[in-house]
C-alpha cells in the first residue's frame, strides 16, 4: 500500500503534496509528534510490520519511513 494513502487517511483535512520529497513531520500542523506516532502505528497495522523504539524516534519523514519499510521487505 502506498504510504501517502495512509497519510491522507490519517490526516484527511490536511493540505499537503503527496509527491513532495521533503514531506516530513511538521510539514503541516496535524503532523506533529502525536500525529507521527499515530501514522507509524497505522503503518504497522496496515503493513503487518513492527517498528523498534529507535525506529519510532527516528522515522519522521516519508523518505525515512519508506526506506525503513524497504529494509523490512515492504514496498511502499
> Where are the domains positioned within the chain?
3-9+25-71
In this predicted structure, what is the pLDDT of residue 18?
A: 85
Average pLDDT (64-74) is 96
CA distance 74 to 47: 7
CA distance 60 to 22: 11
- State the angle between helix axes of 3-10 and 62-71 in degrees (0 to 180), rounded to the nearest 10: 130
In this predicted structure, what is the pLDDT of residue 76?
A: 83
Compute the mean pLDDT over every residue in the chain, rounded to the nearest whole number.
95
In this predicted structure, what is the pLDDT of residue 38?
A: 98
pLDDT by residue (tens digit) across 6-30?
Answer: 999 999 999 999 889 899 999 999 9
Amino acid at each position: 500500500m502506498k504510504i501517502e494513502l495512509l497519510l491522507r487517511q490519517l490526516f484527511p483535512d490536511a493540505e499537503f503534496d503527496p509527491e513532495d520529497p521533503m514531506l516530513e513531520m511538521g510539514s503541516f500542523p496535524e503532523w506533529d509528534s502525536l500525529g507521527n506516532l499515530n501514522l507509524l502505528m497505522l503503518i504497522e497495522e496496515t503493513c503487518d510490520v513492527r517498528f523498534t523504539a529507535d525506529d519510532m524516534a527516528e522515522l519522521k519523514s516519508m523518505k525515512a519511513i519508506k526506506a525503513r519499510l524497504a529494509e523490512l521487505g515492504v514496498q511502499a
